[in-house]
Amino acid sequence: MNTEKEFTEIYNKYAPKVYRLCLGYASGDNSLAEEWQQETFIKVWKHRKSFKGTSSISTWIYRIALNICLGALRKPKKNIQINDNILASDSTDTDEENHEDKILKMYNCINQLSENNKTFIFLELEEIPQATIAETLGIAHGAVRTRLSRIRKTLLKCITNEK
């Protein structure tokens, strides 16, 4: 990834997933997700020579994105709320509105998770393979499966109001 062409190819391949990952941490705030996505790829470009190839490029990029999102959330005075307009629609279709309500409820439940658990679920929602999640987070693959199972149960209870 030493040339601009190689970087552009990597950007085009991973930018959408990085954006959606950041969007989850930004609770639906598009501009904040775009800012974090941009920050991620600025770091990828700046530190491209430090990539040793001991992991896949995707693992390295996701780790950078996670560090940026989590770092930004730890900063004081960053009170991020779910953007209620993210699911707004001009449609009057009640099935569609019901679906949107469920998605909003899911994001509210995800927001209640710890930062670590958010990391797991956002990577899972992006359909990133569990082996890659394990490598990105530096834990055993079996531990990823167990943690995701527990998180799914917690989210299901929250979404169905069982808490």
pTM score over 0.85: no
What's the rounded mean pLDDT across residues 79-93? 46
Q: How far apart are CA 111 and CA 119, in angstroms?
A: 11
Task: State how many domains the chain has.
Answer: 1
Domain range spanning residue 131? 4-159
How far is it, in rounded angstroms, from Cα 90 to Cα 96? Answer: 10
**CA 120/CA 133 separation, integer angstroms:** 7
Interval 90-122: pLDDT, tens: 444 556 557 777 777 888 888 899 988 998 988
Average confidence score pLDDT of the chain: 83
Burial class (CB in 10 A: 0-12, 13-18, 19+), 14: buried
The model's pLDDT over 119-156, given as tens digits with 9 standing for 90+, comes to 898 888 888 899 989 988 889 999 999 999 999 999 98
Q: Which are the contacts of 5, defined by CB distance < 8 A and separation ≥ 6?
A: none
The percent of residues in the chain predicted with pLDDT above 70, rounded, is 85
